[in-house]
Structure 1
Amino acid sequence: MAPDTAATSATEVDPARGLTAEQVAERVAAGRTNQVPDAPVRTLSQILRANVFSPVNGIMLALFAAILVAGFPRDGLFVGVVVSNAVIGVAQEIRAKRELDKLAVLSAPKARVVRDGEVAEVGVSEVVADEVLELAPGDQVVVDGEVLTSSGLEADESLLTGEADPIEKEPGDELLSGSFVAAGSGRYQATRIGAKSYASSLSEEAKRFTLVNSELRRGIDTVLRWLIIIIPPASALLILVLLDTEDRWQNALQGTVAAAVAMVPDGLVLLTSLSFVAGVVALARRRALAKELATVELLARTDVLCLDKTGTITTGHISFGDVESLPGVDPSLVATALGAMAHADEAPNATMLAVRDAYPAPDDSDAGGWSPVGTIPFSSARKWSAMEFRSHGAFYFGAPDVIAGDLPAVMDQVAVHAEAGRRTLLLARSPEPLADETLPESRTPLALILLEDTIRPDAPEILAFFREQGVNLKVISGDHTATVAAVAKRAGIPNAQNHIDARELPEDTDEMAAALADNAVFGRVTPQQKQAMVGALQSRGHTVAMTGDGVNDVLALKNADMGIAMGSGSASTRAVAQLVLLDNSFATLPEVLAQGRKVINNVERVANLFVTKAAYAVLLTALVGIFTVEYPFLPRHLTLVGTFSIGVPGLFLALAPSTELIRPGFLARVLRFSIPAGVLAAVASFFVYEIARRHGEGDYVDKVLPEARTVATFTLLGVGLVILVVISRPLRPWKIGLAAAMGGSYLIVMVWPWARNFFELDVPPAWMWIPTIAAVVIAGAGVVTIPRALRRYQDQ
């Protein structure tokens, strides 16, 4: 944590020179650096506590203690689940943490500091007290400070205050870390650094490792909450019944532990987390930073993908095309004015950089007349910038429809170029001085500047992929509507001809949602409108993903279900997005979708196994209570069944490839399959158990009861393997082989004398195999028909 001296008032420093090397060294030696706390990142001890002392592990350890008290240590095999949960969970989380830490270094925000009159880029943690920092559009304010110089500096504090409108900052005003530069440029001096500044929580956001509230986790948490409610009373009732049925209290406790162990979905949380972690690591290898585990789930559930044109569909590089001087305008004046504006701009955007490359600065003989005396930097809200020169008046550069208004001579030409996909800007002149960032009444259009966007090479193919996957594509941009539509058409956006100027969009959410449904391309969209459009789509039940790379996309990225930022984008977009494509590769998104499908489908399969186990355990407990008989299984029997029909195959299924389309209703679908399947498994095994118990011959305790429990175990395992095959669809040879291997493993236990004796399994007489196999076949047939019945139910 930073020392208290980090929060003291700043020393007066020359904004042009900044701190000297000696002053920086003194502050570093004194520990007055911007070291932020490591709280957002799980430490090794936190990882160990989270994975060892989980509620499920706590229940299993309590049951293990109970079985030891009862004097049956061999029945404590289920404690191996606690060990495996902890070991696998810790190992996988540490592995994922290392991968994310590596990528977070690339994504972490940087700061430009002024030292000895030179501007240098340093890591956020290298900023020292009283540092002078330089800001440009899109930069993140990394420490709290006081503005020293301002050239139209505007701060977006929406992440701090919720206020969407940028706030103008003048010398002496306070800047809060965690805000972003929306427009203009300037320098400010650090006043609060380290843990004292707001950035201590935001600057390390890329390294946060959390399990967010996804549909999968919500569904699993619901199952766990209900089971925690059900298990204690069910166990209490069962032990009362068994105390009356069994000869010894130890046997009653043994049967109760067996039932409780079966009810606990011991590996469900582990395998769910394992699936998430595997997805995150797979994306990390593709240089995609998923800042939350559920990121891999989000895109797979997305049905509307909103694309920002610049930097997403296009490369973000603007190439200069041509200049069309309007009738009666001297082309040399246009060229000189454009060169003067571009070279005098202290924080040029991509457009100005393209102009700067095309036109030189005015020569020395005329430089004095082209020295700017006033500047209004570009703002995405205004859509224009302006610069006033001492001898030539004020020049305005930006969107033609904003600067020229309704002048048909200008707008007709703009429309022609826009239809051809060219980005068109207007240069206008006014004799009036700059005032209050408003356009003057008197302004003369001088020339149209034609620029071109470069489509990303992989964009058409990737957009076609999303179309095939049923994802609705919307292009949202601040550029001219026709220009955006032309670019969208070139990129392969369907229905790109259906476009609308965002200034015509209604403010009412329902009406806006209707307009969004009817159109695919939207131009002249303000940052606030992007945010409102995301909300309107969500109001219709859509899951919305938003891509962007500029500060004008921050509000929309923050409010979308999934925000996707490019690695080359502004620090603001990288900070609020759930997914950062560090190599700017649009082609990574299909991999994100594939990983999401894999996680969702595999977790559903695993959940079916564990919820089925809990269902048959609860029903068996009820049947034992109704018929007042000994519990059909020992804990070691259920450990055997759980290992071969759930645990081991579940581990393979959790990591298996899966590309099936995602459907909503995860929990409802799991319950509709698992409860009937659990009922069939419980009834089949209890039916066989009762036949063997009632009709067996010989000593009841030493022969009949072990034989009855053996055939019940075989029946439960047989139905469990049928369930495994059914939920593994679509079937592959390896999946069938997995089920066969699990069945073969049980047969090895049966024929190996030591294993058979350890698990207290007795080979029953031949006649018992007839009802046993019949029960497995009948219950298995019922399990096979469940998916068909569910499909018919859903189709009604």
Structure 2
Amino acid sequence: MVLGDAILLRAGDQAVVDGKIISQSAGKLIDMDESLLTGESDLIPKRTGDEILSGSFAVVGEAVYVAEKVGKDSFAQKITAGAREFTLSITPLQRQISIIVRMLVMLAIGMSLLLGLSYLYQEKPLSDSVEDMAVVISLVPQGLLLMITVAYALGAVRIARKGALVQQSNAVESLSNVNVLCMDKTGTLTTNRILFHGLHPFDGLGTDGFQQLLGDYIASTGSKNRTAEAIAAAIQGTAIPPVAEVPFSSTRKWAAASFSNGSKPGTCILGAPEVLRTQVKIHDEAVFAQKLETLANQGLRVLLFAHSAHVVNPDELPEHGEASLPPNPVALGFVSFSDELRPHVRDVLDSFRAANIKLLLISGDNPDTVSALAYQAGFRPGEDRAISGIELAQLDDTAFEGAVQTHTIFGRITPEQKQRIVEVLREHGDYVAMMGDGVNDVLSLKKAQVGIAMQDGSQATRAVADIVLLGNQFEVLPDAFLEGQRILNGMNDSMRLFLTRTFFTVLLIIIAGFINTDFPFTPRHNALLTSLPVGIPALFLAYWAKTGQPKKSLLVSVTQFVFPAGFSLAVVSVFIWILYLTSGTSAEVETARSVLTTAALIGGLWIIILAEREREHWRNGDAPAYDPRRIVLALALLALFGVVMAVPGLRDFFEMKPLSWADLAIIAASMTGWSIVLMLLWRYDVLEHLLIPGYRPDKPNL
């Protein structure tokens, strides 16, 4: 398509460029569905001179329009331009792990430089220097980066089985941090279908008469939209050729048809109550207002059905401009409708509220329609306030931010306003997820920390989303939130294993350097300590992780566990190291290293079992029972170490020496004492009382 092309648009066609209608066939006036672009769920009638937007669909009628904007200048291309920009959102877990790894890298570099200088001064052999450097470099927990990848992969696989496709690896974990969920209406909360709810006639016309007249009117009119289809599916009528017909217009908000025969000759009118209210005769204004308020509070859409005895002839209709109502129309009753919500929507939203997640409904649709749907989905009239995009456009930045914070229902919102709402929420420290399905949602999906799209949404929306709900299964979301919690809890346990070993090793190396002894581990000893009590079990802990919102931040939780465990294990290890080095023989150094490696390995296996407990469990005496799977895993790894010690070839490969019964007794006594001391450190917050003046466990202390 190029500029100036004349394009024929028929029912079912999608507009591929922007332009203006230049001609239409009489009786085939075109109605366009722009819901993917603007969020407006109602069909938009188009007349000669009106604009056609690329990406919209022709539903009824046909027209010829001329191409005025093509390629990057078209409406759809401008909205989706941001979809081509790659952005990577770093989650809190990734940020915290990055901080830890960077600190440990700096520590390892510093210690390596100091070791290098000391070896130059002492003129130690190069082979010894390289071995010691290898141990120091291993302080950087490279396995943490692997574990976060494994945890993300496990979460993605689990949630895929439930019906969601994860397109950004960290999206599932990111969901667990969300405290504001923004949702589009059309196609996201709803199936984009309207359901007939009921008839509410006023006095003077029974339900049967009201139903027959409405059914005949719907069966006789040529303009079909989703509202008319909902009525036709519920009410049977007899088609009567109308004398004249005025199709629905989003400008005047009503449609009408005149009949010279039938059950009640005259003109039938169906439209918005707020528009017709001042133009039709109402027998009892109080009853009218009460019924309208009752239906609106139920979250229903409401139309007013009226009738005039005057039969409008075709020559009475204006050739240009809007038609007016016939004389003396009388209100007959209300017709109520509900939007068809996706299955389980209300239960899902209730579960989000129970998790203290704030819900925002943001739509390009009419504010009254959005509010009706919101109340139907469980939003509360009077508490959940609504505001329109027209009102937001008149506010300055400060007032705009205030409106975003105080309202939860947003109607007639442009794509740019959706993006701005998400920006305001993020600027105020909220962690935002955005759900949408149309092109008008692309900008806000990109701006949110987590973007969620429906499978039936536009290709551009699915392309930028972090998670796609397969089969449009809205009920998958709570499971995705739980998987995010599982990832956090699994990484909490894994980090405790990695960092306890790292902290213990750093202290041991520093103390050994101060007392001027040999290096406590060789690289092969270190291989045992990084694989059996840390690397292998971390995979299992990630797989076994439980759901449940973490009660404290990851860094705080890990720190409270690691410092007491690593410090006390280092003290016991120094005791063992010095005990064996008092003889001063080279043989005792090798034995001391074997004993120390065995003791540290047993301590690491015990940490596997303890890693799921918080310090509060020890303080309050309500610690849960030990996970039998962890006990079996620790015993299996201990047995594997026993195989290493029993097989001469494996034992020599790892530079271990056979241990005597006396050595085993020292290890058993030391580890038993360490376990008791560790539990006391956790139970009585010993380190916190020593380091923090006026420490109170029940209050913030920093």
Pairwise same-fold verdict (TM > 0.5): yes
Residue 543 of structure 2 is matched in structure 1 by 655
Matched, 1:417 2:295: yes
Deviation, 1:644, is 0.6
For residue 156 of structure 1, report the CA deviation from its aligned partner.
8.3
What amino acid maps onto 2:607 in structure 1?
A: I
- Tell me the equivalent position of 2:229: 353
Alignment of 1:372-383 (within 5 A): 376-377=249-250
Pair 1:258-2:135 in alignment? yes
Cα pair distance change 1:170/1:280, threshold 3 Å? farther
Q: 1:401 to 1:501 in 2, by over 3 A?
A: farther
Q: Is the 8 A contact 1:153 1:184 kept in 2?
A: no
Give, in whole Å, the separation in 1 of the partners of 2:653 and 2:628.
33
- Verify the 8 A CA contact 2:387 2:409 in the aligned structure 1: yes
CA shift in 2, pair 1:576/1:623, >3 Å: same
* 1:264 Cα deviation from its structure 2 partner: 2.1
Shift in alpha-carbon separation, 1:620–1:483, aligned structure 2, 3 A: same
- The corresponding residue for 2:26 is none
The verdict on how the C-alpha distance between 1:742 and 1:190 changes in structure 2, with shifts beyond 3 A counting, is farther
Shift of 1:649: 0.2
Correspondence for 1:727:
611
CA distances 1:582-629 after superposition (whole Å, capped 9, x unpaired): 223333223212211211111221122223333334333433432333
The 3 A distance-change label for structure 1 pair 678 and 244 is: farther
Residue by residue over 1:650-691, the C-alpha shift from the partner in whole angstroms, topping out at 9 and shown as x without a partner, is 111111141222345223433343344333333332332232
SS at match of 2:518: coil
CA contact (8 A) 1:567 1:583 kept: yes
Task: Pick from 498, 511, 514 the counterpart of residue 626 of structure 1.
Answer: 514
Matched, 1:275 2:123: no
The CA deviation string for residues 234-279 of structure 1, in whole angstroms up to 9 with x for no partner, is 2121133244557422112111112212x12121111111111121
Superposed, 1:535-684 pairs within 5 Å as 541-547=429-435, 560-568=448-456, 574=462, 577-663=465-551, 665-684=553-572
Mapped partners of 1:281, 1:190: distance in 2:
47
Q: Distance in 2 between matches of 1:411 and 1:468?
A: 35
- 2:602 is equivalent to residue 713 of structure 1: no
Is 1:757 the equivalent of 2:637?
no
Calculate the TM-score normalised by the size of structure 2.
Answer: 0.72
Q: Deviation digits for residues 307-347 of structure 1, max 9, x if unmatched?
A: 66776666654222345567899968866665576x425xx
> 1-side partners of 2:501 and 2:275: how far apart?
66
- What amino acid sits opposite 1:737 in the alignment? V
1:449 counterpart (295, 318, 335): 335
Say yes or no: does 1:287 pair with 2:163.
yes
Pairwise mapping of residues 84-233 of structure 1 onto structure 2 (< 5 A)? Answer: 134-135=14-15, 212-233=89-110
1:387-406 alignment, distance < 5 Å: 397-398=271-272, 400-401=273-274, 404=277
How far residue 706 of structure 1 moved from its aligned partner, in angstroms, is 0.7
Identity %: 27
Change (3 A) 1:152 1:784: same
Given the superposition, is the C-alpha separation of residues 690 and 243 from structure 1 closer, same or farther in structure 2, using an over 3 Å criterion? Answer: farther
Aligned residue in 2 for 1:487: 376
CA distance in structure 2 between the aligned counterparts of 1:616 and 1:435, rounded to whole angstroms:
86
Instruction: List gaps (5 residues or longer) in structure 2.
Output: 23-29, 260-265, 280-284, 309-315, 614-623, 689-694
Change beyond 3 A, Cα 1:581–1:765:
closer
Question: One-letter code of the match for 2:589?
Answer: L
Query: In structure 2, what is the Cα distance between the partners aligned to 1:231 and 1:437?
Result: 78
Is it true that 1:321 corresponds to 2:197 in the alignment?
yes
After TM superposition, the structure 1 stretch with the greater mean CA deviation from structure 2, 673-682 or 430-439, is: 430-439
Is residue 36–residue 440 contact of structure 2 (8 Å, CA) maintained in 1? no
Q: TM-score, normalised by structure 1?
A: 0.65
Q: Distance in 1 between matches of 2:698 and 2:447?
A: 32
Q: Quick one: which amino acid aligns to residue 600 of structure 1?
A: L
SS in 2 for 1:708: helix
**How many Å apart are 1:639 and its aligned residue?**
0.5
Specify the SS of the correspondent of 1:695: coil
Query: Any conservation in 1 of the 2:21–2:52 contact (CA below 8 Å)?
Result: no
1: CA distance, partners of 2:276 / 2:463: 33
Work out whether 1:739 is the aligned partner of 2:634: yes
Shift of 1:530: 6.9
The answer on 1:370 being equivalent to 2:258 is no
Distance 2:197 2:203 in 1: 19
1:344 to 223, 226, 234: 223
Task: Give the distance between the partners of 1:748 and 1:436, measured in 2 at CA.
Answer: 92
Report deviation, 1:12: 4.3
Q: 1:472 to 1:200 in 2, by over 3 A?
A: closer
Separation in structure 1 between the aligned mates of residue 147 and residue 642 of structure 2, nearest angstrom: 26
Question: SS where residue 449 of structure 1 aligns?
Answer: strand
Offset at 1:15? 1.9
Paired with 1:444 and 1:787, the residues of 2 have a C-alpha distance of: 81
- Retained in 1: the 8 A contact 2:31–2:59? no
The amino acid that maps onto 1:292 is Q
In structure 2, what residue type is equivalent to 1:487?
Answer: Q
Provide the rounded CA distance (Å) in 2 between the counterparts of 1:708 and 1:585. 60
The answer on whether the counterparts of 1:287 and 1:583 sit within 8 Å (CA) in structure 2 is yes
Q: 1:301 maps to what in 2?
A: 177
Contact 2:299/2:371 (8 A) holds in 1: yes
Separation in 2, partners of 1:689, 1:599: 38
CA gap of 1:649–1:580, structure 2 versus 1, over 3 A, is: same
Given the alignment of the two structures, is residue 15 of structure 1 paired with residue 8 of structure 2, yes or no? yes
Take 1:673 and 1:420, find their aligned partners in 2: how far apart are those partners? 52
1:391-436 CA distances to partner (integer Å, 9 max, x unpaired)? Answer: 99997744x3466489866433211323455431346899997999
Q: Distance in 1 between matches of 2:60 and 2:420?
A: 25
- 1:147-185 Cα deviation digits (max 9, x unpaired): 6678678798899xxxxxx9x999798967xx7789999
Q: Is the 8 A contact 2:79 2:440 kept in 1?
A: no
C-alpha change, 1:544 and 1:211, in structure 2 (3 Å) is closer
Partners of 1:353 and 1:169 lie apart in 2 by 22
Looking at structure 1, the residues matched to 382 and 433 of structure 2 have their Cα atoms a distance apart, in angstroms, of: 22
1:483-538 superposed Cα distances (whole Å, 9 cap, x missing partner):
5576345xxx7x6774444469996367546645xxxxx66744368777766665
Q: For the Cα contact (< 8 Å) 2:256–2:268, is it kept in 1?
A: yes
What is the match of residue 25 of structure 2? none
Measure, in 1, the Cα distance between the counterparts of 2:31 and 2:82.
29
Asked if the contact 1:388/1:395 (under 8 Å) is kept, the reply is yes
SS in 2 for 1:659: coil
Residue range with higher mean Cα deviation, 430-439 or 617-626: 430-439
2:496/2:561 contact within 8 Å kept? yes
Secondary structure of the residue that 1:302 maps to in structure 2? coil
CA contact (8 A) 1:287 1:582 kept: yes
Deviation at 1:645, TM superposition (A): 0.6
Q: Tell me the CA shift for residue 551 of structure 1.
A: 6.8
- Aligned partner of residue 196 in structure 2, secondary structure: strand
| Matched-pair contact (CA < 8 Å) for 2:343–2:474 | no
